[in-house]
Amino acid sequence: MKATANAGSNIAFVKYWGVRRGERRGLVPLNPSVSMTLEKARTTTTVEFLPGLKQDVCKINNRPAPPDAVARVHRVMSRVRRLARLKAFARIESVNHFPTSAGIASSASGFAALALAAARAAGLTEDPKHLVPLTILGSGSACRSLYGGYVLWSPPGKGRAPSRVRQLAPEGHWPLVDLVAILSREQKRVPSEQGHLLARTSPLLEGRLQSLGKIVSKIRKAIRERDLSALGEWIEADALCMHAVMMTSRPSLLYWKPATLAVIEAVRDLRDRKGIPCYFTIDAGPNVHVITLPDQAAAVTRVLKRVEGVEEVLHCPTGRGPSIDEEPLF
């Protein structure tokens, strides 16, 4: 009744932004998304079901988890108990092996590791297909961390089918690097969970949804053919489009800081003046992810570190999927 698992975070190449309302099947994304799983940015989680507990007890990085994280963990654990016909609550401990205290999302790696550890501890199937509904109870983007390499998350079609997640290519197919320019370690003011509900208030949402079919197929082709300039062109276009939706929703969400623009400028400059292939993408925060080839990473990092407002640059290569650990955290 005790198990430990680890999983990597992921960076979206096509962003998931917006959820359908009032779905009885739980969280349903408005659009398909594509991501790359990250090595290094990993979380390890141990789950133990203990008959004496009166509720799930959860620690993250050796501290009691904040209330919003506890609520999400509880949603996942309640579903696990129902599926496994268990009554016992669980002790859950999670440690983020990120090279920094914060700055990149830990919820994707955290909930992918939690789903796998909880499934193993409860004796449920560990097939990633069956873990998808569990992870998205905690964090939507976490379902993409159930696979390594390049991953597609498609919204469910009509009928009762759940969301579908599948690996487009394994990590060895095309090793890339995500250099994360950390501009701020502050918690975002509007959590993604609330942001997803605002997407529909933007007059630009329909335009984005209509153009996504083309962008997803361009990005899939670029991954298949290992074509970084095509991949880069489309990931930048989609990141800007998602932020346009965020900025024009009501209330408006503006996650950028002045240094976000400065990093975008530096990336374009590296490309145009030095011919270095590197491309930016930005999640729901000010930090900029710069995608490049492993042998260009050192040169790009040197330039990013000189941009005013950049505190640190994390080096995250394409990563593998989750796995079970023999060493428990407690």
Q: Which of 284, 310, 313, 314 binds ligand DP6 (CB under 6 A)?
A: 284
Cβ 141 to ligand DP6 shortest distance, Å: 3
Q: Does 37 bind ligand DP6 (CB under 6 A)?
A: no
Q: Which residues have CB under 8 Å from 202's CB, separation 6+?
A: 244, 245, 246, 248, 249, 250
* Region binding ligand DP6 by CB under 6 A among candidate stretches 8-16, 86-94, 169-177, 268-276: 8-16
Q: Of 118 and 303, which has the nearer Cβ to ligand DP6?
A: 118
Q: Does 141 bind ligand DP6 (CB under 6 A)?
A: yes
Q: Which of 105, 113, 137, 262 binds ligand DP6 (CB under 6 A)?
A: 105
Q: Does 44 bind ligand DP6 (CB under 6 A)?
A: no
Nearest-angstrom CA–CA distance, 7 and 146: 7
* Region binding ligand DP6 by CB under 6 A among candidate stretches 42-50, 75-83, 191-199, 205-213: 191-199
DSSP string, 9-78: EEEEEE----B-SS-TTS--BSS-EEEEEEEEEEEEEEEEEETT-SS-EEEETTEEPPHHHHHHHHHHHH
Q: Which of 322, 324, 325, 3 is nearest to 144 (CA)?
A: 322
Cβ 85 to ligand DP6 shortest distance, Å: 28
* Region binding ligand DP6 by CB under 6 A among candidate stretches 9-17, 78-86, 170-178, 300-308: 9-17
Q: Does 182 bind ligand DP6 (CB under 6 A)?
A: no
Q: Does 199 bind ligand DP6 (CB under 6 A)?
A: no
Cβ 186 to ligand DP6 shortest distance, Å: 14
Cβ 13 to ligand DP6 shortest distance, Å: 9
Q: Which two tokens stand for residue 13?
A: 């190449």
The neighbouring-strand residues paired with 5 are 45, 324
Nearest-angstrom CA–CA distance, 127 and 135: 13
Contact of 321 with 128, CB cutoff 8 Å: yes
In sign, the C-alpha dihedral spanning 149, 137, 98, 219 is positive
- Residues lying near ligand DP6 in the complex (CB under 6 A) are found at 12, 15-17, 33, 105, 107-108, 139-141, 191-193, 283-284
